[in-house]
Structure 1
Amino acid sequence: AADAVWVFADEVSNSTARTQLVSRSAASGVNTLYVSVYSSTPNGAGRLMFDDTAIADLIQRAHVAGIEVWAAYGAPDWPQLGCALGAFPLQRMQEVIDFNAAKPTTTLDGVMLDVESSEGLDSSSRQALLALYECSLDMLKPAGVGMQTAIRFFWDETVEYPLTTRISQKVYEHVLDMDLHKVVVMGYRDFAGSGCPDDGIICLDQDEVVYAGAQGKPGVVLAGAETGVCDAECGGDGVTFLQEGQAVLNREAACVAEHFAGDPGFGGFAIHRYDDTYLSGSAAWPATNPDFPGSCHAVWVPTTTYQLSDDLFPNPERGFLYAKETHSGNNYAPLDETMLRTYRQDQGITLIKRYFYLDDFVSAPISQTYLDLMQADFDSLRRAGLKAVVRFAYANSKMTPTYGDADKLHILAHLTQLKPIIEANQDVIAVVEAGFIGNWGEWFYTDNFVADPYNPGEITDEDYANRWEVLEKILNVLPPERSVQLRTPFYKYKVFDTLAGWPATPLALPAADAHNGSDLARTGHHNDCFLGSDTDAGTFGALVPIAEDKNYLAAETQYVPMGGEVCDPDPDAVQSQIRFSCTDALAELERFHWSYLNVETGNYGLEVYNGWNEAGCLAEIQRRLGYRLTLTQGTYPDEVIRGNEMTVHIELQNVGWASPLNPRPVQLVLRHKLGGVIYTEPLPTDPRFWLADNAATYSIDHTFLTDPTMPVGVYELLLNLPDPEPILAGRPDYAIRLANQGVWEADTGYNNLRHTVIMSNGSSDVVPPTVSQVDTVADTGDGVLGEGETTGAAINQLRVIYSEDVRNTGATDAESVINPANYRLFGANLGAIGIDSVAYDGGNHTAILTLNDGNPLPEDSYIFTVVGNAIEDLVGNKLDGDGNGIGGDDFVLHFAVVNWSPDCSAAVPSVAAIWPVNHKFVAVNVLGVTDPQSDPLTITITGIWQDEPVDTDGDGKHMPDGQGIGTSTAQVRAERTGGGNGRLYHIDFVADDGNGGSCAGEVQVGVPHDKKDTPVDDGRLYDSTLVP
């Protein structure tokens, strides 16, 4: 068997790429390369080809590996360029001959002529194509150069060729009759199918395979498959395996090979093209297996690998932040929503630190105005897609007493006031720094929580007890999913009494207690003078040695939040010049699991940032603050029978410095490729336990039952880490983006796992049935009742033709007020129309619906519905009513029935001429009036006129001369004036169809002067029914 791939520019001109191409092809069992050698610029030999040396090198390497190399040429306009000796196509054929003559030890094996003209060409265009094949063969064959072609699957039109003998047969038959090495049939489908009419590769290729075998040409036909990008204009995803990936391509190819195993005309596969980016970013098809493995439609569990991305991008609840403070009274500075959006869009910042200073409320309740302004701030954050680290404080200036903070009772009262607004906005609060006590809310310079404000470092047990009451109140006010941070490690030791032994050793939160909802587990840390000195301005070393503090903090912050601000370096501190270096900064940010860090607070810390930027580590800090989650690999099934179990295995790493701050769901999303229907499966994992560790891998293993009612078809697998709050859960800007190449979907917030799974019925048929057409036995012009059509046909039956045999699953076929129906018909004015019966033909391919008690539908606008979930094919695929490729949706047809009026234009009298002239009445009926809907007509005489006086000389004095007005029959008198030119009666009538339609007309009856004369019409002058 032949397995071939198309190859393009890079693999010809680049030596490394040539080596890799041949290596991969040999490992994969590929034995033929169709290499595009054309170049618009002449090479050194004057040929419009890539460099002769490069081509020869590729040929030499391929031939050593047992692989043939064929020069691939062709474009849709080539047949029109003709077969003259100087025509562009034949010049290229000559260049191949010349190349082989110049490189006798590394010759091209032949030419792949890949023209593939468009669909719908006329016979002359098809003949020109066949002529191009023939004249190219005539040039190449004498030079010992073989030729192959690629044809489209729809080349089954009949054409006469050659023009001399005019043999009439299908285009592909003419092609296969030629002396060609191989013929590739490009079906442009991403599934094998099982035969016609499912329109898969097997169906589209089988005529060519059978014909080749019948003509004694074994192995000539190759099944082509596309793996390149195809937009909507060329047919979309359904024509290419780009989205399905390698596993699906291999499996469907196995199905094709299995089907054609007994057909001598089948010769293998040709894949267009090598080195397209698909299959989860892997380098290229072919796979590293010589044959398409496995059995047809086997359930495979392939492993997908992922590439790490170093891109900088925003993610919620982490990263650099800006500090924004506001004060009470007239000094409230609302958040600028436009600026917030700019932070996110231009700088990738998703957090701010919001300082709420309650300076006017030290001894008074917080005003409603202030609370309303706070709510407005949270609303702005939400609209802009950011969250806040929140801190409350009363004072921020004086470094000597009195400092200006509130006492315990007022703080507790204020927290009671703040509880509703915090609960209402927990979705945009990432974490709360304890605050309230002391200058800046940092718990040091305070009037009320130390015995002596002039000696703020001396804190008694009673002071710690008071501080614990404030912390406990904050924890109770906050939702249980949110944490509080304390300014220094020793504050946590003291309020939670976690010092053990002497000298005191701090006890970090045990891993077993992490995220258990306890106060201890919900209390983290912030450092507002990071790198300021060897103690970070008193952050470390207050109660225990610095090393003990740091060991404790490193262990604790694996499970509790850590963040803060940089501080200007202390020039007198030990190692002041290296304290804020990249080396120290990166080490401590990683060791203490920092999630956020201020960008600036005025010029505070500016020297530090400038130093990081100059030293080149600022981008790494931006990239690794907080979590940075990346997929490494995943194992997923290739096919699942809906309603059965599906198992997934996903592996991730956290290459950031911390785990996510807050609880967050992890969801597997199955999205139907064609219709976008989404199914979500929660995964049993908590990202807060995905600790920062470049060496650790976190696995998600989950088995679940798929929905037995989900539409069959191909589903993309995606991973979603949305915000847990309902108000934000559907917003992509609050979902976690994984740090992998080619997985993030900015418009959905999903991470595409680059794998698809076929949801089937346990059958190879996953194509849902469709309604091919609806028509009626009445005449609608073309016999088909089209969408939006207006018809005057007498419709009392509808015929529904399906794409395949179907069966009912609903409660009843007909429209019913009580039960759901498979078929429904509603009139805009008439309401529900009864469907009396539904009869299927012998193969259940067509349904005949009898309507309205067998009576024609009255004039009205109608909606006809075939219920998608009530009709399915014989393997259970629900009806695809709207043609989107997904079963289960309704087919809806709008049409209108109108009443067409009768036609009076061909009316004639039953008596055209009256003789003899005996003055008697003669009965005249109106004939020839028709109705397009065959409605029964009523003819009414509305007037009788004549061109002679009713009473005049020579007419016998009989009056009136006409009667029968209001009846269906006119009576006119057999008389005329003796001295005249004959009489002409004008009989007016109206034809009525009884349904509101009518027409009016006139017939004429003559009384000649003499028997052989023709009366002359002098006009409608006299009313025949009057007596003068």
Structure 2
Amino acid sequence: MRAIRLLFPIILLTVACDKTSGGESNVGKDSTTITYTASTEDFTNPERGFYRYSETTVDNFTALNATTLASYKSGATPSGGSFSVMSTLVFRYFIMSGYTGKALPDAFLTNLAKDFATARAAGVKLIPRFTYTISVTAGSCPESWICTPYGDAPKNIVLNHIAQLKPVLQANADVIATVQLGFIGVWGENFYTDYFGDASSNGQKQLLDKNWQDRSEVLKAMLDALPVDRMVQIRLPQLKQKFVYGVSALPTSGAMTAEEAATGTDKARIGYHNDCFLSSANDYGTFADYDSSAATPVEATTAMHNFTAMDSKYVVVGGETCSDAYSPQNDCEPSGHAEQEFSDMHYSFLNADYNSEVNNDWQTGGCLDNIKRKLGYRLVLKDATFPSKLSATDSLTATIHMQNEGYAAPYNPRPVQLLLRNTETKKIDTLTFSTEVRKWLTGAVTLRQSFKLPAGIVAGTYEVLLNLPDGYNSLRNMPAYSIRLANNNVWESTTGYNNLNHQITIQ
């Protein structure tokens, strides 16, 4: 991994509609409330947690290994780490060196599809980023450690490559957690670039309207290359402002609202990857204003930080640490504020392999175990109320109280199902809640809904289960892709269901 980086309420979600068309509600009729015990265990869940790093080039393609991916899920110690993590996410660098002026070969697209198939079989998801170079050249330029040419590609080549990648990305979106914008600049971090505006002291020290327009065109192409249920992460939050509100947008531009979230619009699909988490006062330029032609980017940390904190409630956020020098700020509480920053910025994942010095400090400081548990979502059952007896013509009213103790809501859509499993035949009838998991923010989450019992349901005793499977049919019956609740004596590892420890007799 590179050693030098880029410069730079509780919610009450209640559904109380009765969807029956006739039949009597069970409210107040022989109902039972079950309470649950929270677990402190660290365990895997899809699309969240510490991710593992991997890379390959186009011409010397090193395929993902299913055995290695499986070992990540069961727990492994990252290189240079003093801790172990269990990971269901793998960051994947696809380095397109030598292709800054020509099309990608068909063999690479085939290998890319094979990587996705390996991830699917192993029960993990990928975070892809495509870039032309991860190398720097030192010299006598103003920045000295990195000089031009940087080695990325012009816009027309980038757009052609995205068009080539689109069919593979579309076909394998089920095992894509999110895609990072990439392409522009060294490491695909959208900063040191030959073609999209060099805002460093090596270049023009600002980004012009055309630079923002060109970057927005690439971002639009990446959004269009994915299904509407997948997000694209960007490196600089200011790009989202310029993309959504136009090139004249200010750092004080408004963040997304709850009403705009999870709608499938471009605005609702742009998240963030901060590859210099708590590395300086503005995270090495992450929260700077690049419209200025001053000797250094204009200080806009407060405005950009506030924008990102608000906007990130409803989009995917992840990244990595990059410097241990910003201490004690990046340490555990109370001397630092690492956990508070994760919470404020709604982090779902972080690199386990870099920067090991920062990550190891959290192990020494005693907060790493908490970070491991809280990255992304952590859903804890509090109590649930169900009827104990019903007739086939009754409606079933279910009330479930949970607490999201994680830093963020789930960022990809998935159904929330109440399952009735016949204790004798094991046949399952499915009732689906009308809810949106992407709005299950940190804090209280309440599910309350009345269901008409499925037609033809037979008399008998039924176990009640909560199922949060993947949103794609290809993964829906794979337990590795279902959400596990953070409670004792609830999870069924063989089915991926959460057993609510209650039975209903249907007469």
Provide structure 1 residue ranges, at least 5 long, that are not aligned to the other structure. Answer: 1-297, 571-575, 761-1028
Larger fraction in strand: 1
8 Å CA contact retained: 1:533, 1:569: no
Q: Does the 8 Å CA contact 1:566/1:608 hold for their aligned counterparts?
A: yes
Residue 467 of structure 1 corresponds to: 215
- The change in CA–CA distance for 1:501 and 1:518 in structure 2 (over 3 A counts) is closer
Give yes or no for the alignment of 1:336 onto 2:65: yes
Q: Aligned to 1:360, what secondary structure does the other structure show? A: coil
Q: Which residue of 1 aligns with 2:158?
A: 411
Determine if the alignment matches structure 1 residue 607 to structure 2 residue 336. Answer: no
Distance 1:339 1:325 in 2: 14
Return the letter of the residue paired with 1:415.
I
Match of 1:510 in 2: 257
CA contact (8 A) 2:400 2:447 kept: yes
Is contact 2:192–2:199 with CA below 8 Å preserved after alignment?
A: no
2: CA distance between counterparts of 1:759 and 1:723?
29
| 1:300 to 2:30 alignment | yes
Q: Which amino acid aligns with 1:721?
A: L
Alpha-carbon deviation of 1:390?
Answer: 1.2
1:375 maps to 2:96: no
From 539, 557, 562, give the equivalent of 2:317.
Answer: 562
Check if 1:553 corresponds to 2:308. yes
Change (3 A) 1:310 1:457: farther
Q: Which residue of 1 aligns with 2:350?
A: 597
Distance 2:390 2:442 in 1: 35
2: CA distance, partners of 1:708 / 1:678: 13
Map of 1:280-679 to 2, 5 A cutoff? 299-329=29-59, 331-346=60-75, 347-398=85-136, 399-450=146-197, 454-455=202-203, 457-497=205-245, 504-542=251-289, 543=298, 545-570=300-325, 576-583=326-333, 584-601=337-354, 605-679=355-429
Task: For 2:451, give the aligned amino acid.
Answer: F
Q: What is the CA-CA distance between 1:708 and the residue it aligns to?
A: 4.2
| Deviation (angstroms), 1:709 | 2.1
Matched, 1:682 2:412: no
Query: Following TM superposition, by how much is the alpha carbon of 1:532 offset from its aligned partner in structure 2, in angstroms?
Result: 1.5
Greater relative contact order (CA < 8 Å, ≥ 6 in sequence): 2
Which one-letter code corresponds to 1:474 in the other structure? M
In 1: Cα distance, 2:199 partner to 2:253 partner: 27
Give the residue type in structure 1 aligned to 2:314.
Y
Alignment of 1:781-796 (within 5 A): none
Q: Which runs of 5+ in 2 are unaligned?
A: 1-27, 76-84, 137-145, 290-297
What one-letter code is carried by the residue in structure 1 that aligns with 2:383? Q
* Structure number, greater radius of gyration: 1
What SS is found at the alignment partner of 1:669?
strand
Superposed CA deviations along residues 831-866 of structure 1, whole A, max 9, x for unmatched, are xxxxxxxxxxxxxxxxxxxxxxxxxxxxxxxxxxxx
Equivalents in 2 of 1:554, 1:499: separation in Å? 21
TM-score normalised according to structure 2 size: 0.86
Cα distance in 2 for residues equivalent to 1:315 and 1:577 = 31
Structure 1 residue identity aligned to 2:214: N
Give the conservation status (yes or no) of the 8 Å contact 1:306–1:631: yes
Query: What secondary structure, in the 3-state scheme, does the structure 1 residue paired with 2:383 have?
Result: strand
Instruction: Give distance in 2, aligned partners of 1:498 and 1:642.
Output: 57
Following TM superposition, by how much is the alpha carbon of 1:409 offset from its aligned partner in structure 2, in angstroms? 0.7
- Cα drift, residue 735 of structure 1: 0.2
1:643 Cα deviation (Å)?
3.5
One-letter amino acid of the counterpart of residue 124, structure 2: L
Mapped to 1, the partners of 2:445 and 2:216 lie a distance apart of 37
SS at match of 1:466: helix
Structure 1 residue 653: deviation in Å? 1.4
Within a 5 Å distance, the mapping from 1:819-898 to structure 2 comes to none
Secondary structure of 1:315's counterpart equals coil
Secondary structure, counterpart of 1:405 in structure 2: coil
Deviations 1:487-509 (A, max 9, x none): 0212222232379998x513111
Counterpart-to-counterpart distance in 2, 1:672 and 1:440: 53
May I ask how many residue pairs the two structures share in their alignment? 450
- State the partner residue of 1:753: 500
Distance 1:586 1:499 in 2: 34
Q: Does structure 2 conserve the Cα–Cα contact (< 8 Å) formed by 1:498 and 1:507?
A: no
Tell me the amino acid that sits aligned with residue 319 of structure 1: G
Q: How many Å apart are 1:312 and its aligned residue?
A: 0.6
2:463 alignment counterpart: 716
- Return the offset for 1:455: 1.3
Compute the displacement of 1:523 (Å). 0.5
Q: Is the 8 A contact 2:462 2:505 kept in 1?
A: yes
Deviation at 1:456, TM superposition (A): 5.9
- Contact 1:431/1:483 (8 A) holds in 2: yes
The one-letter code matched in structure 2 to 1:455 is G
| 2:192–2:198 CA contact under 8 A, matched in 1 | no
Name the amino acid aligned to 1:719: L
Pairwise CA RMSD: 1.7
In percent, how many aligned pairs have the same letter? 40
Whether contact under 8 Å (2:198, 2:205) holds in the other structure is no
What is the SS of the residue equivalent to 1:748?
coil
AA in 1 matched with 2:402:
L
SS of aligned partner of 2:167: helix
Question: 2:215 aligns to what SS in structure 1?
Answer: helix
From the superposition, tell whether residues 500 and 758 of structure 1 become closer, same or farther in structure 2 (CA, over 3 Å).
Answer: farther
